Every structure is written in structure tokens, then in C-alpha cells.
Amino acid sequence: MFPADHTAHAAELLAVPPGWLAGHRGQTLEERAFFSGAALCQLQLALTGEIVPQAVWRDRLALQAAEACMVLDGRAERVSDLRDTLHLCRAGDLPGPAGEVALAWQKATARPLSRKPLQAALAQIARPEIVDCLDAGRAGPPLTRAATVLEMALTADPRSPAAALILADAALARALGWRHLLPLLALGLGAGELHRDGEALRLACHRAVSTAALIALRLAADLTRRAGVLQAVAPKLRARGAAAAVEQFLRRDAVAPGALTSLRSDRAARRFCDRLLALGAARELTGRDSFRLYGL
């Protein structure tokens, strides 16, 4: 692992794209394709380096993508509500419609990209054969493939924009040879753009990816800095099972103390979380006094 200050510096560099890239989206397909390509290239650096804590980054992006889907669906749930839903659903409870979408994104981004897990991730929010739409995106440049899959999936099941966006982002990741799906189109496409077709949709996808890549990079830089702090204080955490608990913070968007079973008791888990707060190595994410959730 890199020393914390070095890591933070590298992360800053990642998150600050060249001036000509930030804030420019272009008008014509050619211009937009140029900027989206450049943004994806910048993003690839964050994906391949060992600096960015990949798992927690994807987990938080997944939650943001789920929020974007709530907006598209006209639902009121935001990131904090979705996070609560995921953490307060016990065995035997159903997650409800918003929770299903959040779970779908979480599952789709957690595992390396392949058909079976993707189908399992989509099972509760769309028809199982929706995954066949992926086959439509086998040829052409990456964003053309993603746009084709998006259009196909929305035609096959117009009632599940979340499933269509998961598949489109999966097609994009696959076309780029990425190991995991990153939610980009989901973060960048607006409700009005979703139902365009042909070139208009491709234009919208290019703009969406340019915007979303920069959002993802800023988040990557922020999480890298926070993970650096956590790893720097990790040797000071002497509680039994502390290493496994730290690992949880590097993997998940949020952690409920009750889930930190490596610490062996609720009380020990609470003390561990309080200690992380005191050291500035984690945040409490809910702002509540009870049912608290912690994360980077």
C-alpha cells in the first residue's frame, strides 16, 4: 500500500481532469464522442490503479445509480433512504420496490461481469429474458453498443428503466473490457433522454458518460483519500477482529455495527465505530442517534 499522503496526491491527480475535458460536452456526435472517449480513458486510470478502493467505490456508485432510477420512476427515495432500506431489511422481509432496485444495482456491480450473476441481479425488477438484450450489443464502438442495448431493453420491458440501464452499463463495461460494471449511463441520462432512439440516443449517451465519468472520478478521489486515512490508523486498532472490520469499511458503502461480527459483540462493534469516528477515519452516515450506519 502507498503511504497516505502519496495516495491522496495520486487521487487528486485522478479527479482533476485536464481543463479542456472538464465542462466541455460538445454538440455534434463527433465532438461528444471525443469528450466521452477522453473521459472514459481518464476513468480507466482509476479502474486499473491499485490506489482507488474499488469495491466501496462501486458500492456507493450503485446506490447513486439506484437513486437516479428513483428519480426516473418518480419515486421519492434518495440515497439515504435506499441505504436504510438495505440495512434494515431482515431475513424474511421483502425489500419493497425501491429496495429491489437498490439491491439489483448492488448485486450487478459487486461481482465480476458475467451473464448469470447479472440475470440473478435483475430477477426481481424485470423479466428474466431481458438479459438477452445484451446480445444486441456485440458490434460497433462501445457507446453504440450500450445505446443499442438500452433501446432494446426499454422496448422489451418499458416498465423497468432500471433493468435497461443496468444492461446498458453492462454492455459498455464489456465493450471496454472492464472486469466490473460501473454505473455511468444510469448516473448521466435524464428522464427525457431515455426514450430517444438512434443517433439522438447515442448523442445523449455520450454526454451522459462524460458527465458521469467526472462524477465517478470525484467520488473515487474522495474515497481514496478517506481509505488512506483509515489504512493509516488501522495499525492502532487493536481490538480482536479489527482487520476484518476495516476490510468491511473498504468494501461496503455503509456498515451497521451489528454486521461487524468479527468484533464478536455489539458492544465491541459500537466502540470500534466510535473509535473510527474519533480518529476521523470513518463517518456516521445517517445523522441519527439510533440505527446508525458508518462508512468512508
The least CB distance from residue 128 to another protein, in Å, is 5
The least CB distance from residue 123 to another protein, in Å, is 6
Beta carbon nearer to another protein, 27 or 290: 290
Beta carbon nearer to another protein, 87 or 206: 87
Radius of gyration of the chain (CA): 19
**Cα–Cα distance measured from residue 198 to residue 186, given in angstroms and rounded to the nearest whole number:** 18
**Cα–Cα distance measured from residue 184 to residue 172, given in angstroms and rounded to the nearest whole number:** 9
The least CB distance from residue 62 to another protein, in Å, is 17
Beta carbon nearer to another protein, 33 or 101: 101
Report CA 110 to chain centroid distance, whole Å: 9
Q: Which residues bind another protein (CB under 8 A)?
A: 84-86, 88-90, 92-99, 123-124, 127-129, 159-160, 286, 288, 290-291
From 234, 230, 275, select the one nearest 257 (Cα to Cα): 275
The least CB distance from residue 71 to another protein, in Å, is 15
Beta carbon nearer to another protein, 73 or 222: 73
Q: Quick one: cell of 69?
A: 432510477
Residues 6+ apart with CB under 8 A from 255: 248, 249, 273, 293, 294, 295
The least CB distance from residue 256 to another protein, in Å, is 10
Instruction: Calculate the CA dihedral of residues 106, 99, 90, 245 and round it to 10 degrees.
Output: 30
Beta carbon nearer to another protein, 73 or 274: 73
